[in-house]
Structure 1
Amino acid sequence: MLTGDLVRLRPLEPSDAETMWRWNNDPEIGRWMFRGYPESLAQITERFAALPRNAYAGTFLGVEPLGEQRLIGSVRLRDAAPETGAAELDLRIGDKDYWGRGYATDTVRVICRFGFDEMRLHRIALTVVADNEPARRVYEKAGFVAEGRQRECFRRDGKWHDMILMGLLEGELR
């Protein structure tokens, strides 16, 4: 298991499907995320039962508070390629009781440390909705810097929003 000051990252289990389904159907949790098409609990359960094994190209982990066996979020390093030494980061803290308490920042630090130390990545990138200030602060605390902007490419609540491309290089993690 991967541990930080506040969190433990562990492989996702088929039994986590119901929690993820609840988060997927909560508009507040999914406000700044790409939602895709609605899925039933049965569809998510089936998808979780068939999750590929964590590997270099994709590592998808559950987030738990240290000392508890309670799923509060998920984090993923995806599209990693040894030829480029790069991967993309996705993060969701789905349990609102843990918002604004440092769990997201600790999760980012733990997964990035794993990416740099164990996967030998050189760069980790992500995109975040420009108006999602809490998420941007989390990434900046960990050392991510804004590298570019995609204008009006995310639609929510009848309005178009910009996306910010952020990156973190090996040696920049704080």
Structure 2
Amino acid sequence: MEYTLRLRPYKREDGTYLLNWLTDRRMLGMWCRDHFAFPLSADQLDRYYRDLEKDSRSFGFTALNEKGIPVGSFRMSRVDYEKKSVHLGFIVIDQSLRGQGLGGQMVSLAVGYAKDFLGMERITLNVFDCNPGAKRCYEKVGFHEEQFKKEDFAFEEEKWGIYLMVYDK
């Protein structure tokens, strides 16, 4: 099934969807490092998004399918209007819909928003080396590796490296 996504600002009720998408410890770690405790709770999300709303340099977004149902989420942070740069993070797609190109479509919409509405020229994101599917997705959108940090994050017995990727077209 092909989807046409739309973006809108994150709303509190979108947390219900995030709770259903981020159901295991590893997936949560890939999404947020250690910013949230497992299991993810509505209270944690409410606190996080309340704080995000107070930060004039950060925005939460939800990707909707053609029926208006949330299928993905991300944030823009570290908005720097003088340097024309922004960072994408906390990128997630409904796990039951992965592999259908929705992640690329959502990130493309995020890039378009950052460039067309915010006037950004440099867009960055991070992706762990243990998540090659997400890295390929970002490369298809036009991101490229700028930096790699080996063993950047400890998850249980593993050490994950992290790529800083940049879109600067």
TM-score range relative to shorter protein = 0.7 to 0.9
SS in 1 for 2:106: helix
- Which segment drifts farther, 6-15 or 97-106? 6-15
Partner of 1:131: 130
Count of aligned pairs: 164
Aligned residues of 2:124 and 2:167 also touching (Cα < 8 A):
yes
Q: CA deviation at 1:125?
A: 0.8
Q: Which runs of 5+ in 2 are unaligned?
A: none
**C-alpha deviation, 1:47, in angstroms:** 4.7
Q: Deviations over 1:91-146 (max 9, x none)?
A: 53341121010100001111101111111111001111112110101110011111
The 1:144/1:37 distance shift into structure 2, 3 A limit, reads closer
Q: Alignment RMSD, CA only?
A: 2.3
Look up the equivalent residue of 2:79 and give its one-letter code: A
**Superposition TM-score, scaled by structure 1 size:** 0.82
Equivalent runs, 1:31-50 vs 2, <5 Å: 31-33=29-31, 34-38=33-37, 40-45=41-46, 47-48=48-49
Which letter maps to 1:141?
Answer: K
Q: Give SS of 2:99's match.
A: coil
Structure with more of its chain in helix, by fraction:
2
**SS of 1:29 mapped into structure 2:** helix
Residue aligned with 1:30, SS: helix
Which AA in structure 2 matches 1:62?
T
Structure 1: stretches of 5+ with no match in the other structure: none
> How far apart are the structure 1 equivalents of 2:51 and 2:164?
31
Match of 1:15 in 2: 13
Which residue does the alignment assign to 2:4?
6
Contact 1:72/1:95, CA 8 A, preserved across alignment: yes
* Equivalent residue, structure 1, for 2:99: 100
Counterparts in 2 of 1:133 and 1:52: CA distance versus 1, 3 Å: same
Partner of 1:150: helix, strand, or coil?
Answer: strand
2:88 corresponds in structure 1 to 89
Output the TM-score relative to the length of structure 2.
0.84
Matched with 1:27 is 25
Distance in 1 (alpha carbons) for counterparts of 2:48 and 2:76: 18
1:24–1:35 contact (8 Å) kept in structure 2: no
Cα distance in 2, alignment partners of residues 93 and 37 from structure 1: 14
Aligned position for 2:61: 61
Question: What is the alpha-carbon distance in structure 1 between the residues aligned to residue 162 and residue 47 of structure 2?
Answer: 31
Structure 1 residue 49, shift from structure 2 partner: 5.9
Corresponding residue for residue 166 of structure 1: 165
